[in-house]
Amino acid sequence: MKNLIQINNLPIRYKLISHFLIISIIPIICLGLLINWTVERIVEEQVNKDTLQLISKVDEALEFYLNNMQRVTYFISYNESMQDFFHNDSQQTGQNKTNEYEIQRYLRNFTTLLPEVAGVLVVNSSGEYVSNELYAPSTKDLTEESWYKEAVENKGIFKIIGQPKDRHISSLVNYKNDEVVSAVRAVIDPISQEVVGVILIDLKVRTVAETLVDVRLGKTGYLTVVDEQNRPIYQPKDPLVDTIPNEWLEGKKSGAFSKEVDSQKLQFIYQKSPYSNWTIIGVFPTEETIYEISEIQFYLVVFVFIILLFGIPLSYFLANSISKPIGQLMKFMRKAEGGELGVRYIEKRDDEIGMLGRSFNKMLKQINELLRLTERHERQKREAEFRSLQANINPHFLYNTLDTIQWMARKQKATDIAEVVESLAKLFRIGLSKGRDIITLDKEIEHIESYLRIQKTRYGEKLQYQIEVDENSSSLYVLKFILQPLIENAIYHGIKERRGPGQITLSAYEKNGKLVLVLQDNGVGMSESRLQEIRAALKDAVRRTENQGESNSKNGYGILNVQARIVLAFGEQYGITIESTEKVGTTIEMLLPILDEDIGWEEEWKLNA
């Protein structure tokens, strides 16, 4: 708050300069930030999109090779010689054994036509095998191999089991385990639905490498392939990261993330192949994508600098052109403030400052006229006060006279006459209230009790009343004469028209930080149409009370006058609400603010508002 006050004390020239700079600099900075954020997002999205497209192309190439391997397994399983081999009984090997040489030659055709195939091995359910490039120890039962069991579990579905591990098979070409990827498929007898054998095919990792080796992401980025267990199928030499933990991939099929590895921030984009369950991962340094963004940021900074270079002098010129005539007008105002009401602003301008100067001249002229009027009004006011003093002599004289009559009635033991006169005297005393418009609630209640005692004398047992005031509310301040008109209405329009005795109940209490006065009677009530007329009149009470002819209509001058006084004093959120049922009675609720001290009701109301 203190800083805001200090800013308000600055000369308008500096405020204008700051304003011009702010409205020119902040939009440019915001625009630069927006462009920078947009470019970063677009470049990042485009890099991710391009990398995913590249990964998809590589995935299609790998799927092509794997599909070829799957087709090879189908060709082998449908071959007649291979069918004989699969159904060969080990006890009849001398009669039914297929010519091994012909099968090997048949299998060799696949390695010749498909250079990506490193070798093919076929095993029947008896553990006998035949191959073109692979061989196993004669003492080893291949049906006990893990890859054979995996094929059997898949029941004829082609499965890629990854790079060989702990298998008892060797290659004539001496391929190492990390140089091939194995796939298996069990051959199912169509009649018995039993596994009659398994086909094992090795794919050269070199084929995968040839697909990926020429793919570059930026300057140093690359693609790598891992299997389901996150073991590398292919990885280039000198990779940016040796191993990619499985938790980095989060078990998702595709995505992108950043990690800091060896003090270098790397971007990873990956996609899992639904066919092979291999994951192809793109790895590249984040800074390689930031270079182009940095260039754009440089041009933005230069642009902002140029705006500042020309904006500051222009802001100073514009601020001075506006503040200078305002300063001149301030000098004339200070002279007028010092009492020189004859000064005039003479510069001819058609803008707002010129209009302000002409208004200043007109104001000084009106001030001179108002000073003369004020002097005349002061004289008239003093005369009115003198007349008001004379007018107040009569109520005081009547009050004193009533007090004398009461004393004389009590002396003559005319108690009933004394009580009536005393009540009437209290009415006058509270009515005078030393000229105040606001009194405590207990004084207002005392005024009402005096009025009701007088009416009780007139109506006798027909009028019964009860007053209930909360102790905490009795000391609160209210407007004078707000209850008597309402009680008068309740008597003359409710109780009087009723057959038999009537009851009036007045209660006062605090609710939700407001003072509530409730007046109830069991008189004749009013019809719904009459109730709606009264409610409409209450909403427009201020205007109706100003129009004396309209306020004296059947809508009730007393209640409208009370409503108008409350609204004018405290606002439209306070006032009277009315409920009534014909032949049942009427309830009036009055809502007032809490006024704790008689410091002048206007000041108290401003404090509570």
Q: Which tens digits make up the pLDDT trace of 219-252?
A: 778 788 887 777 777 777 778 887 787 777 777 7
- Euclidean distance between CA atoms 288 and 50, whole angstroms: 15
Q: Which of 140-149, 228-237, 277-286, 505-514 has the highest mean pLDDT?
A: 505-514
Residue 132 CB contacts under 8 Å (≥ 6 apart), including other chains = 104, 107, 108, 110, 111, 119, 120
Per-residue HEC secondary structure of 65-130 comes to HHHHHHHHHHHHHHCHHHHHHHCCCHHHHHHHCCCHHHHHHHHHHHHHHCCCEEEEEEEECCCCEE
Q: Among 501-510, 535-544, 587-596, whose mean pLDDT is lowest?
A: 535-544
- Euclidean distance between CA atoms 231 and 554, whole angstroms: 98
Q: Among 142-146, 452-456, 604-608, whose mean pLDDT is lowest?
A: 604-608
DSSP helix/strand/coil, 471: coil
- Euclidean distance between CA atoms 219 and 290, whole angstroms: 13
DSSP helix/strand/coil, 481: coil
pLDDT of residue 467: 93
- Euclidean distance between CA atoms 562 and 576, whole angstroms: 8
pLDDT of residue 390: 42
Asked if 172 and 118 count as a contact pair (C-beta separation under 8 A), the reply is no
- Euclidean distance between CA atoms 185 and 89, whole angstroms: 21
Residue 156 CB contacts under 8 Å (≥ 6 apart), including other chains = 185, 186, 187, 188, 195
pLDDT of residue 9: 60
H or E element at residue 285: strand 279-285
pLDDT of residue 604: 45
Q: How many helices (H) does the chain have, and how many strands (E)?
A: 19, 19
H or E element at residue 29: helix 12-78
**Confidence grade of residue 95 (pLDDT, cut at 50, 70, 90):** very low
302 or 9: which leads in pLDDT: 302
Residue 133 CB contacts under 8 Å (≥ 6 apart), including other chains = 111, 118, 119, 120, 171, 172, 173, 202
| Residue of 255, 238, 241, 227 whose CA lies nearest to 283 | 241
Residue 370 CA: distances (Å) to CA of 143, 216, 362, 367: 120, 89, 12, 5
pLDDT of residue 293: 67
Asked if 202 and 114 count as a contact pair (C-beta separation under 8 A), the reply is no
Token pair recorded at residue 89: 């009984």
pLDDT of residue 421: 65
DSSP helix/strand/coil, 514: strand
- Euclidean distance between CA atoms 305 and 465, whole angstroms: 85
DSSP helix/strand/coil, 525: coil
Residue 310 CB contacts under 8 Å (≥ 6 apart), including other chains = none
Query: For residue 266, what are the β-bridge partners?
Result: 259, 285
Token pair recorded at residue 351: 């803008």
CA dihedral 106, 107, 108, 109 (to 10 degrees): 60
Asked if 560 and 544 count as a contact pair (C-beta separation under 8 A), the reply is yes
Contacts for 334-338 with beta carbons within 8 Å, 24 or more apart? 336/360, 336/364
- Euclidean distance between CA atoms 432 and 393, whole angstroms: 11
- Euclidean distance between CA atoms 505 and 581, whole angstroms: 16
pLDDT value at 574 more than 90? yes
467 or 219: which leads in pLDDT: 467
375 or 485: which leads in pLDDT: 485
pLDDT value at 606 more than 60? no
**Confidence grade of residue 608 (pLDDT, cut at 50, 70, 90):** very low
pLDDT of residue 386: 42
> 559-575 burial, b for 16+ CB within 10 Å, e for fewer?
bbbbbbbbbebbeeebb
Token pair recorded at residue 316: 């100073």
**Confidence grade of residue 448 (pLDDT, cut at 50, 70, 90):** confident
pLDDT, tens digit, 9 for 90 and up, residues 164-203:
887 888 887 778 877 788 889 999 888 888 888 899 988 8
Asked if 558 and 537 count as a contact pair (C-beta separation under 8 A), the reply is no
Total residues found in the chain within this entry: 609
pLDDT value at 325 more than 80? no
Query: For residue 160, what are the β-bridge partners?
Result: 183
- Euclidean distance between CA atoms 589 and 85, whole angstroms: 107
Q: Which amino acid is at 86?
A: F
Token pair recorded at residue 80: 């007649």
| Residue of 242, 220, 222 whose CA lies nearest to 231 | 242
| Residue of 398, 491, 390 whose CA lies nearest to 448 | 491
DSSP state of 157: -
The pTM is what? 0.44
Asked if 327 and 25 count as a contact pair (C-beta separation under 8 A), the reply is no
Pairing of strands 585-593, 180-188: unpaired
Asked if 131 and 122 count as a contact pair (C-beta separation under 8 A), the reply is yes
- Euclidean distance between CA atoms 203 and 163, whole angstroms: 9
- Which residue stretches of 460-585 are H helix? 484-490, 528-539, 541-546, 548-551, 557-570
pLDDT value at 396 more than 50? no
DSSP helix/strand/coil, 172: coil
